[in-house]
Amino acid sequence: MEVLKRGLVLLMVFMVFQRGEGQLFENFYRGTCPNLEMIVKQVVSIKFSQTFVTIPATLRLFFHDCFVEGCDASVMIASPNGDAEKDAQDNLSLAGDGFDTVIKAKQAVEIQCPGIVSCADILALAARDVVVLAGGPSWEVELGRRDGLVSQASKVAGNLPDPEFNLVQLNTIFAKNNLTQFDMIALSGAHTLGFSHCNRFSNRLYSFSSSSVVDPSLDPNYAQQLMQACPQNVDPSIAINMDPETPRTFDNVYYQNLVSGKGLFTSDEVLFSDPASQPTVRDFASNPGNFNGAFITAMRKLGRVGVKTGNEGEIRTDCTKFNS
């Protein structure tokens, strides 16, 4: 009997570890909100039909949320004092359509399943759904996150990758979130969608170094295109596509662009120019299946970062406000 008891205890411990970080699992809401994924997908599709920006905005919102305080929808909080996570300098460029997508999906979910599903889980589902809408792969999203109770602008600086980072700096910031160099290169593929403001890369065009005004790693024709779109002292609201070839399709063309000297940021270009990461870039550029598989794995790992589960956090009624 004692042996049996001990065996059961070991089995339970093993099961807890099997569930992974924070005990997320697929079909978490099977008994409490069985239509959840259908509701979110429907709202995301409607929002997408209104504006394409829904896709890159929602995907970027998920990434920015998870890298600060973990995947807990802390980025969704609106503070009357302007001191929440979304108010930090690095988050001011997050497009409103991403926030709107999650808010609308949460409202639709609340009608059918009040007080059950976290904003953090809705954001994770919406991030998957926008990738699919852009022609990318689908995957099962692990669920069970709870919404965070902290959202401070002061916690953002130093926790998001910078467009001027080199490979070591990129690897360091991703490793803090249990993500490998391979994961980082795969997640960088999200730059196949969306846009950037000119000031995020203008140094590569007008003030790169004392020996070269223009970054020599840029394809000269691409550099000319960028200069036409982003002349010096351009209106700071002007934005251009990060993928000059297929900006509205989730594909592996981003990596082909890197091979051709058409990476927009230094942090893109370095993935190809650094010999430590170049083989992975070449592989993803030639093999879309390898990229898609790596992206799915990396997104699932990203979705486990710093999650709150069980009795931690709360289930917000309104994604933009703490319950209390």
Token look-up 């020996």 returns 211
Active site residue 197: no
74 is in an annotated binding site: yes
70 is in an annotated binding site: yes
283 is in an annotated binding site: no
Among candidate residues 64, 106, 262, 300, the one labeled active-site is 64
What does residue 28 show for φ and ψ, rounded to 5 degrees? -55, -35
Helix 181-188 to helix 288-302 angle, to the nearest 10 degrees? 110
| Cα gap 302→290, rounded to integer Å | 18
Question: Which of these, 50, 52, 74, lies nearest to 62 by C-alpha position?
Answer: 74
235 is in an annotated binding site: no
31 is in an annotated binding site: no
Residues paired with 241 in a beta bridge: 195
7 is in an annotated binding site: no
Residues paired with 240 in a beta bridge: 196
| Burial degree of 43 (CB within 10 A; 0-12, 13-18, 19+) | buried
| Burial degree of 226 (CB within 10 A; 0-12, 13-18, 19+) | buried
192 is in an annotated binding site: yes
320 is in an annotated binding site: no
21 is in an annotated binding site: no
83 is in an annotated binding site: no
Binding residues are: 65, 68, 70, 72, 74, 85, 161, 191-192, 243, 246, 251
Binding residues for substrate are: 161
The residues annotated as belonging to the active site are 64
Binding residues for Ca(2+) are: 65, 68, 70, 72, 74, 85, 192, 243, 246, 251
Binding residues for heme b are: 191
